[in-house]
Structure 1
Amino acid sequence: MSDPSRAERPPTLDPVASARWTGWPHATSPWLNEEIGRRMEDRLQWIRLQPRSWVDWAPLSGGLQTHAKLRARYPQAHCQVLETTAQREHLARQVLQVPWWQRWLKPDALTFGAPGASSADMVWANMALHTSDDPHALLQKWHQLLAVDGFLMFSCLGPDTLRELADAYQNKGWPPACHAFTDMHDWGDMLVQAGFAEPVMDMERITLTYANADSLLVEFRALGRNLHRDRFGGLRGKQWLGQLKNALLSLAKPQQDGRILLTVEVIYGHALKPLPRLKVQQQSSVSLQDMRTLLGQSPSGRSV
């Protein structure tokens, strides 16, 4: 039986490759993700809400330095780190958690593992959405983590990313260099479908420059993988590697001292979790938590 939600998933993204990349363990975060995280963190100056608790989604990929900047911005807030695998959570603990004796002297406002539903005032998800094979489900998961009036901050890659590399692959008659990335307007629509309100989308293009093909390839091995369903399925040899390097050199611009230029389109998103809507039918059911929220009560029954 076919999956009815398959039509809503990225059509060119291989879910097996996506799962492998999402679970890839690494002790340091890619520099590009850190840079994008820094730019997204700077946008928080325009957010009036000061979260008392927030979730950092997959900081090993999203940015360990960015995590530190967020902790400094919200020093009194509790942070819940949520990684994608147990191995990655172990690595994150080694980097982010202070020694036990320091936690004994001063309890650390940092915990690991899945937080409770509706418990976070902010979900921070840097550079995660574009590699998910089921972005609708991921957006819904982030929505469930947020309390009412909490907000989501996320970034991902847009459709103009690596357009020069895609053209070079096409000219060579090779399979695609990467899967197709989603447009920011489509992300805005999906946010609304997931239950978010007032989505604000922003986009910028970053130009990456490289002195030679070797430095580009070394860096791109840490930045990501080709997740396209129709990517080349076997191993490549030295002859193909030489062809790839020549194709990359063809992207060099004489006016840029012969450096290789590649475009990265970055999409930033921000959205709120509104009050749940009560749909009245002949027979309706509402969860106890949603009813308390609609009535303006706290979980303990006290008015808020």
Structure 2
Amino acid sequence: MRSGRQEDSEADLMESGQQCLDKRLLRRSFNAAAASYDATAVLQREVGKRLIERLELIRLNPRWILDIGAGTGATTRRLMQRYPRARFVALDVASAMLRRARRRAPLLQRLRCACADTESLPFAAGSFDLVFSNLTFQWVNDPERVFREIQRVLRPNGLLLFTSFGPDTLKELRQSWECVDGYVHVNRFVDMHEVGDALVRARLADPVMEMEYFTLTYRSARDLMRELKALGAHNIIVGRNRGLTGRQRWFAMEAAYERLRAAEGLLPATYEVIYGHAWGTQPVRQTVDRSGAIHVPLAELGRRRFRAR
């Protein structure tokens, strides 16, 4: 069930022309994919492994760690092995995913699970030393709102470390559908620089952004579509075409994709992976006068550095 605030947010996004994800369908898709996810999530595990390896370059001794979009807990388990003394909260929108994460995690007394929306974190301010998220932020409607929530729950000097998909993800599938009709069949993802700007506006300190391409290959377009379904990665945009896709349009999409078949006889699927990290800051000190005006000291308004590589 959606709150009035969520419905208002979706309406605002649609009026502005931005893509709006259907959160109810998102939850239903990932719940349905819980049983098939681990057998299919090869890229997700590899990206999660690479993200954890980046912690080797950062001196950090976290006591509490939040894993946003923990899914079935494969990457959470790696984190628990890296920080054997830390306590963890695994958060996901899909309760079926979390049930699997709860069963697989070692030392279960160190793990708590929370089924909640990433855009409204159910935690007190300053709760975590590390917020970690692997390939989840592409499933939010308002990245800046997510980062404000993370800034709130991070302790000062706590670390946010994350990955997300960029706009070139599944570009071959998107282009093939565009040859067929004018509907949106593939979710659109936020550019690395827009993500970095959202981090700055959320007052997270010293954000650093990087990007890497992965290309997976498939025998057919239908194999790719089956894999996306097994991952729960459906088209979940509000206002999408809700009717059945006819056989003629399917065949037309497959014919368009066939033009991209490589010399070795396989079809490519590109994934643009964004890596980012930033640091928690002290809450802004402000006062409100009798007229309701908010006063913020000038010292609180210093601009943070932003580097994109």
TM-score, L = length of structure 1: 0.79
* Aligned residues of 1:179 and 1:229 also touching (Cα < 8 A): no
User: Could you tell me how far apart the structure 2 residues matched to 1:137 and 1:181 are?
Assistant: 16
Shift of 1:115: 4.6
Quick one: structure 1 residues 236 and 170, their matched pair in 2 at CA, closer, same or farther if it must change by over 3 Å?
closer
Q: Structure 1 25/172 Cα, relative in aligned 2: closer, same or farther at 3 Å?
A: closer
Give aligned-pair identity as a percent.
31
Q: Note if 1:226 corresponds to 2:235.
A: yes
One-letter amino acid of the structure 2 residue matched with residue 233 of structure 1: R
Q: State the Cα distance separating 1:24 from its structure 2 match.
A: 5.0
Q: Which residue of 2 aligns with 1:288?
A: none
Shift of 1:7: 4.9
Which residue in the other structure is 2:181 paired with? 173
Q: 2:198 corresponds to which residue? A: 190
Q: 1:86, 1:206 → 2: CA distance?
A: 29
CA RMSD of aligned residues (A): 3.0
Structure 1 residue 207 corresponds to structure 2 residue 215: yes
Q: Give secondary structure in 2 for the equivalent of 1:178.
A: coil
Which residue of structure 1 lines up, in the alignment, with residue 44 of structure 2? 33
Moved over 6 A (4+): none
Listed one character per residue, the Cα deviations across residues 212-269 of structure 1 (whole Å, up to 9, x for unaligned) are 3342222121231113345322012444433333333222122xx1210121111111
Note the C-alpha offset of 1:191: 0.9
Q: Any idea what SS the aligned residue of 1:253 has?
A: coil
Counterpart CA distance in 2 for 1:11 and 1:20 is 22
Would the aligned equivalents of 1:158 and 1:267 in 2 still touch at CA under 8 Å? yes
> Does the 8 Å contact 2:172/2:257 carry over to 1?
no
- Provide the rounded CA distance (Å) in 2 between the counterparts of 1:136 and 1:191: 7
User: Which structure has the larger Rg over C-alpha atoms?
Assistant: 1
Instruction: Report the counterpart of residue 84 of structure 2 in structure 1.
Output: 75
SS at match of 1:59: coil
Hey, what's the Cα distance between the residues in 2 that align with 1:217 and 1:179? 13
Deviations, residues 145-195 of structure 1 (Å, cap 9, x unaligned): 211110111111101112222221122234223232111111111112222
Alignment correspondent of 1:112: 113
Task: Give secondary structure in 2 for the equivalent of 1:227.
Answer: coil
Q: Is the 1:209–1:260 contact (alpha carbons within 8 Å) kept by the matching residues of 2?
A: yes
**Shift in Å at residue 19 of structure 1?**
4.9
* 8 Å contact from structure 2 (residues 34, 96) kept in 1: no
Match of 1:11 among 18, 32, 40: 18
Distance 1:96 1:115, change over 3 A: farther
Q: Deviations over 1:6-50 (max 9, x none)?
A: 359881233344454466551444222212111111111111122
TM-score (normalised: structure 2): 0.77
String of CA shifts for 1:57-78, please: whole Å, max 9, x gaps: 1211xx6322221111111111
**Residue among 264, 270, 287 paired with 2:277:** 270
In structure 2, the residue corresponding to 1:26 is in which secondary structure? helix
Contact 1:175–1:230 under 8 Å retained in 2: no
Any conservation in 2 of the 1:155–1:268 contact (CA below 8 Å)? yes
AA aligned opposite 1:269: G
- Tell me, yes or no, if the aligned pair for 1:54 and 1:122 is still in contact at 8 Å: yes
